[in-house]
């Protein structure tokens, strides 16, 4: 498998354009199953996850065309008819979000057979809430041999969906399922992430009637059909935050463009508290650090607009060189400190107890071979390596390719010494 080699010590100077949001794009792609007209998505990221979902959609009957448009990369998805309502294990197991084709398939065809997505290295992420939401809309659900068999031969019917806690994936899945249901659906304790607003905007352009997205209560009035539209994917807030932290770790001055600073307010506030200079612009922000030592700060992950769990690993990397002790509390996922032992290989001083990690800043980090355990952990190792003495190699970077587009190219353009070693290192197994 590929590896990435980083020689630390170079300060970063330049501009990094941010790609479209992965977590938004994959749900927007699933929305193409809800109409027999073309859905054109612009500002599309080219990632392993979007390519995988495209393969699944093609198997279900969607024509997928990737091309370069006037606004950059775009994807046109056209599902004239559903030729198969089966989403097999070999595809669904590779990306949990592909499970979200279940609701649109039921809404469009009245039945579906979709594999359960399987385990996750960052902790248990059951699909119970997804299935309960579909049951609330009138679908009958049976589980056999690792598959969900769902039926609603007379179509879905609006209902009241009450989540015990705010789940982004379950809220998005409920929205995708309810837009073609008969009558009104109310989603209570809904997640409020920006990606939900993006999905609602696209669905409304398609003719849906969704109100209250990005608030705890969402109202959906079902419609008979949806039509095709052109929609621009919002910028990726996790990529934005990751590059902001990379610039702060390496030092220098980097301008992040084609993004929105308000998507990562919680992160930027903590970066300023740590001693990083942040200047906001209409199209992004500038991150600047002159080399002065960072100060340790405490964070606690929370649902949006709190500190994103998907930025916790990257922030931990930054705190490894901060003066003092930083306490990092993870409240969203268990097992999400798997990057800590790998950061320790670079010389970081980290102790983990349950959902809390204590990071005692060290004077410097030293290069070592490290291994990515998941998507966000992989980029945290790259961030740490930017400041480590010597050459660090990060293996299992297929995790990185799931969510970061042209990472090496973007960092190299700002002066980082980073390169990909193709087909070398250990196998995926």
Residue numbers in the known binding site for UDP-N-acetyl-alpha-D-glucosamine are: 96, 125-129, 310, 332
Contact 274, 59 (CB under 8 A): no
- E strand segments, 55-163: 63-69, 72-78, 86-87, 111-115, 140-144, 147-151, 160-162
The helix/strand count (H/E) of the chain reads as 14, 24
- Report the C-alpha gap between 27 and 17 in whole angstroms: 22
**Phi first, then psi: what are they for 280, rounded to 5°?**
-90, 145
H or E element in which residue 407 lies: helix 407-412
State the Cα angle at 297 between 389 and 328, rounded to 5°: 85
Phi-psi region of 14 (alpha: psi -120 to 50; beta: other; left: phi over 0): left
**Which of helix, strand or coil describes residue 311?**
helix
Q: Six-digit token pair at 137?
A: 């809309």
Q: CB within 8 A of 54, min separation 6: which ones?
A: 29, 62, 64, 66, 75
**Which of helix, strand or coil describes residue 24?**
helix
- Report the C-alpha gap between 193 and 389 in whole angstroms: 37
CA pseudo-torsion sign 194, 137, 134, 148: negative
CA pseudo-torsion sign 215, 161, 173, 165: positive
The one catalytic residue among 120, 188, 192, 414: 120
Minimal CA–CA distance to 407: which of 47, 111, 159? Answer: 47
Instruction: Verify whether residue 214 is a known catalytic residue.
Output: no
Chain Cα centroid distance, residue 81: 29
Question: What does 245-297 look like in DSSP terms, one character per residue?
Answer: HHHHHH-EEEEEESS-GGGGHHHHHHHHHHT-EEEEETTEEEEEE-SPPPB--
Contact 6, 392 (CB under 8 A): yes
- Report the C-alpha gap between 390 and 55 in whole angstroms: 40
Chain Cα centroid distance, residue 396: 18
- Report the C-alpha gap between 101 and 191 in whole angstroms: 19
- Which residue bears the tokens 């960072």? 294
Active site residues: 120
């Amino acid at each position: 498998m590929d590896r990435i080699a980083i020689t630390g010590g170079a300060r970063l100077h330049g501009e990094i354009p941010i790609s479209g949001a992965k977590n938004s794009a994959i749900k927007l792609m699933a929305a193409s199953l809800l109409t027999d007209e073309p859905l054109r998505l612009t500002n599309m990221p080219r990632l392993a996850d979007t390519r995988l979902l495209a393969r699944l959609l093609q198997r279900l009957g969607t024509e997928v065309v990737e091309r370069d448009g006037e606004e950059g990369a775009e994807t046109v998805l056209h599902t004239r008819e559903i030729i198969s309502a089966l989403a097999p294990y070999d595809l669904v197991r590779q990306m949990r979000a592909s499970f979200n084709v279940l609701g649109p398939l039921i809404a469009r065809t009245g039945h579906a057979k979709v594999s359960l997505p399987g385990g996750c290295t960052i902790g248990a992420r059951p699909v119970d809430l997804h299935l309960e939401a579909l049951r609330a809309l009138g679908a009958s659900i049976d589980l056999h041999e690792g598959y969900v068999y769902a039926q609603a031969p007379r179509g879905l019917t609006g209902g009241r969906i009450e989540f015990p806690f705010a789940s982004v994936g379950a809220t998005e899945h409920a929205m995708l399922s309810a837009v073609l249901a008969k009558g009104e659906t109310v989603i209570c304790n809904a997640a409020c992430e920006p990606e939900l607003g993006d999905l609602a905007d696209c669905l409304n352009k398609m003719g849906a009637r969704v109100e209250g997205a990005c608030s705890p209560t969402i109202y959906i009035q079902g419609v008979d059909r949806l039509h095709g539209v052109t929609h621009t994917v919002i910028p990726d807030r996790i990529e934005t935050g990751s590059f902001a932290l990379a610039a702060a770790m390496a030092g220098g001055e980097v301008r992040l463009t084609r993004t929105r600073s308000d998507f990562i307010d919680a992160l930027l506030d903590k970066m300023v508290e740590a001693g990083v200079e942040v200047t906001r612009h209409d199209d992004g922000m500038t991150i600047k650090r002159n080399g002065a030592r960072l100060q340790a700060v405490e964070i606690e992950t929370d649902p949006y607009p709190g500190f994103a769990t998907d930025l916790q690993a990257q922030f931990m990397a930054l705190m490894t060189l901060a003066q003092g002790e930083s306490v990092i509390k993870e409240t969203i996922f268990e097992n999400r400190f798997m990057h800590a032992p790998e950061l320790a290989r670079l010389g970081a001083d980290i102790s983990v107890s349950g959902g809390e990690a204590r990071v005692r800043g060290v004077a410097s980090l030293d290069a070592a071979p490290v291994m990515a355990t998941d998507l966000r952990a992989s980029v945290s190792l790259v961030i740490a390596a930017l400041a480590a003495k010597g050459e660090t190699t990060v293996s299992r970077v297929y995790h990185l390719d799931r969510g970061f587009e042209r990472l090496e190219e973007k960092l190299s353009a700002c002066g980082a010494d980073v390169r990909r070693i193709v087909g070398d290192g250990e196998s995926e197994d």
